[in-house]
Amino acid sequence: MALIKLLVAPVRRVVRFPLFQLAIAIVVILFLQAADSGSIFGEIFSALDLLVDYTVRLCTAVFEVKSFTRSWLITGFMIAYVYIAGLLILFLAKVAIGAVVEVVARRNAFGLTNAIARERGITAYRAWLPLERIRPQHIAQQEWEERFAWPADNRPPYPPLAHRVLRAVATYLVVLLVIAGALQVLTPFPALTWLGKAVGLPAAWIAPR
């Protein structure tokens, strides 16, 4: 397992490089565009083209879009949608590979249970060690772990996924509103007005004073 990770590490560094990801997205778009209209890839490009066109028309309804801006919006949205689709595919592949590895480890297929457990144990120890370093001497190790790392009832010491998602969404909304407000006040771009029109707020609420 360690040897495989060592061999794959350079490939992972290249794949995670933003410019490489951008180049892959552009290559995928050109490949889909060059495909025959009746093929599967041609149908995918047609659906992507319709989605991008619909998104650009939504932007047109919010603010004025001229030819130069429209070309950039089409290019940007097409790359963004392909990039998001790629991230989703990679996420699903990662989940599928993780599920396969867990099945292999549980059933000890090919005798890999000990190797997988050893690798995950090393990862868990490296993650636990910084917590242990700040443990006060008068607190027992088991009590310290039950309080912050591994509770006695086996429940994770962090909020449920729904709470974390709602908190992240609320945080991003607040940051977006602050940035839009700053652009509205400090620059000629009425970003807050555009957002208000996009969500359908009355013009009196978002009109600059």
Location of structure tokens 């490939």:
11
Residues 192 and 97 in one domain: no
Q: Show the domain range for 187.
A: 160-209
Distance CA 70, CA 81 (A): 16
Residues 36 and 93 in one domain: yes
Residues 75 and 30 in one domain: yes
The single-letter DSSP state of residue 156 is: -
Average pLDDT, the chain: 84
Residue 149's pLDDT is: 85
Residues 8 and 90 in one domain: yes
Residues 78 and 103 in one domain: yes
In angstroms, the Cα distances linking 20 to 23, 27, 171 are: 5, 10, 30
CB 190 within 8 A of CB 181: no
Distance CA 125, CA 118 (A): 10
Residues 35 and 73 in one domain: yes
Residues 124 and 78 in one domain: no
Residue 30's pLDDT is: 92
Q: How many CB atoms lie within 10 A of CB 75?
A: 13
Q: Using one digit for the tens of pLDDT, what is the confidence trace for 153-202?
A: 888 888 888 899 999 999 999 998 888 888 888 877 777 777 777 766 65
Residue 1's pLDDT is: 56
Residues 26 and 71 in one domain: yes
Residues 151 and 176 in one domain: no
Residue 125 has pLDDT above 80, yes or no: yes
Residue 46 pLDDT class (50, 70, 90 cuts): very high
Q: What is the pTM of this model?
A: 0.67
Residue 147 pLDDT class (50, 70, 90 cuts): confident
Residue 12's pLDDT is: 75
CB 52 within 8 A of CB 81: yes
Residue 88 pLDDT class (50, 70, 90 cuts): very high
The single-letter DSSP state of residue 108 is: T
Stretch 12-41: mean pLDDT, rounded?
Answer: 86
Residue ranges of the alpha helices (H) in 149-190? 161-186
Residues 78 and 34 in one domain: yes
Q: Using one digit for the tens of pLDDT, what is the confidence trace for 61-87?
A: 777 778 888 888 899 999 999 999 998
CB 151 within 8 A of CB 157: yes
Q: What percent of the chain has pLDDT over 90?
A: 28
Number of domains in the chain: 3
Among 89, 107, 125, the domain-final residue is: 107
Residues 103 and 12 in one domain: yes
Residues 67 and 143 in one domain: no
